[in-house]
Every structure is written in structure tokens, then in C-alpha cells.
Amino acid sequence: MNRISLSKGTGLLLLAGSITLCSCGENNAAPAAEASEPAAATTEAPATSDEKLFEAVTVPASLDASLADKGKTIYEMKCQSCHKLTDEKLVGPGWKGVTQRRSPGWIVAMTTKPEVMIAKDPDAQKLLEEHLVQMPNQNISAEEARQLLEFMRSNDGVK
């Protein structure tokens, strides 16, 4: 009788493990960053690497404080343990000035699909060489990436 219970228990454990592993796949949803942006004057920093790896993202000339506040919350939950808001390195590079060094599209792509960027983008590869740690995929959606971008812009003094 114990052997049957053990078999059922083992079977349930294996089933639960299989379900968990199957649910851990990549999120291949198409980015929808432009959907939440207001129509306004836009700026796009010059790209420093292959534009085909990421979509151009337009941002309004002025800061969207609501998006920046949401981005701050995401930063505190998913980014703060590796990135400082200054130019000082923690695990990864500091965020100060990032919106002047990188295009909005590059930033969104790096936050939503870091493994692809590190595999194909020369600038992302240089960052890996400098910091010796690959940025983990935090499962950040395109909408969350746009919010993080706005928070980065506020950190860089955009009003």
C-alpha cells in the first residue's frame, strides 16, 4: 500500500515539475512600446550599433511623470540590485547618462531581450566584457521597458 502511495506521490511530483518547466519558456510577444506613447515631438538618440536588432522608439520631448513613476517602481523591484542611478558600477553599469549614450530603441531592446542583444549587438557585447556578468532576462514587457526608459530619462534630468 505504501508503494502505491509513493508511486502516486512521485508521479504527482514529476507532473508538477514538468508543468513548471514547460511554463518557463521565453516570452516571444511582439513589443508594443509605441501604443502607450502620447503623440508629441520626439527625439531619438543616434544609434551606436545595428538598428535591425531593435525597433526605433520615439519619446516625447518632455517627460511623462506617470510613466517615470511606474518605471521607478520597476527599477526598485528588478534593477536596483545591479544598477545604481549614478555613473558608478555595481554589478552592471550605472544608469546616469544612459539616455544620452544609447538610443531609446536600444534601451528597450536591452531591457526586454538582453540575451539577444548580448549575442548580436557589439555595444552589448562590450558591456559584457567590461562588467563580466550577463544581464539576466527579467521578463520585462515592452510597456514596462517604456516605463523604465522614462524613469532613466528623469534620472538624466529630462523635464
Rounded CA-CA distance 80/90 in Å is 9
Domain boundary assignment for the chain: 42-155
Residue 31 is given by DSSP the state P
User: pLDDT by residue (tens digit) across 143-152?
Assistant: 999 999 999 9
Give the pLDDT confidence of 18-46 residue by residue, as tens digits: 444 444 444 444 444 444 444 444 444 44
Residues of the chain with pLDDT under 70: 1-52
> What is the predicted pLDDT for the residue at 8?
58
CB 133 within 8 A of CB 91: yes
- For domain 42-155, give the CATH number: 1.10.760.10
